[in-house]
Amino acid sequence: MSELDDSIYRSLDDALSGVYECHKCILGDTRTNVVPGAGNPRAKVMFIGEAPGKNEDLQGKPFVGAAGNLLSQLLERIGLKREDIYIANILKCRPPRNRDPRPEEIEACTPWLREQIKAVHPTVLVTMGNFSTKFVLQTTTGITRLRGQVRTTGPFRVIPTFHPAAAIYDRSKISALEADFDLIRALLDADERREHENM
């Protein structure tokens, strides 16, 4: 994670220059659109998912399908809008039939994510699901054990949570997701209070 610690300012456009022509892995052959990310380039919170699905591949935007609807509801619960945050994925192109990302695809694609993190320089990373959590925290521990607590890596506070798609198939995960989003709110409130005290 040490490369992520270096938050030298770059613009997002610079960070993503070349992404739309990327063919560093075989997913470049089957995608309809590259899905780099979306949202506020100055966001304090960056959400990181897994990979585009069918709708995202068709529209070129992250989290626009069913999982995206649930994500929007969870954000609304804590008073955030899509425009307040930045959303990216581990992979920028859809794996065929939504299969899991392969190690060589993660290796080829995550330099884009590192550059996005440097450009946006958020203070909080919310990792949704196993793939983003394992990448950001450089761990092999599963999301069920890691979620629900704030972790740190370099300058970032990390809140690992379930992937919203997992809660669509298993509704019992909704309450955990809600608790994790409440934790995001609590962290942001504490940051704001600290900023006011220091003014």
- Residues in touch with ligand URA (CB under 6 A): 49-53, 56, 62-63, 67, 89, 165
Quote the DSSP letter at residue 173: G
Residues 22/34, Cβ–Cβ less than 8 Å: yes
First to last CA, the chain: 32
Residue among 154 and 176 whose Cβ is closer to ligand URA: 176
Residue among 55 and 139 whose Cβ is closer to ligand URA: 55
CB of 147 to ligand URA, least distance (A): 16
CB of 191 to ligand URA, least distance (A): 26
Task: Of 41, 43, 63, 42, give the one whose Cα is nearest residue 54.
Answer: 63
Residue among 52 and 122 whose Cβ is closer to ligand URA: 52
Find residue 48's DSSP bridge partners. 88, 127
CB count in 10 Å sphere of residue 20: 11
Residue among 50 and 115 whose Cβ is closer to ligand URA: 50
CB of 121 to ligand URA, least distance (A): 22
Quote the DSSP letter at residue 126: E
CB of 50 to ligand URA, least distance (A): 3
Residue among 39 and 49 whose Cβ is closer to ligand URA: 49
Residues 130/107, Cβ–Cβ less than 8 Å: no
CB of 2 to ligand URA, least distance (A): 25
Q: How many residues are there in the chain?
A: 199
Strand bridging mode 86-89 / 45-49: parallel
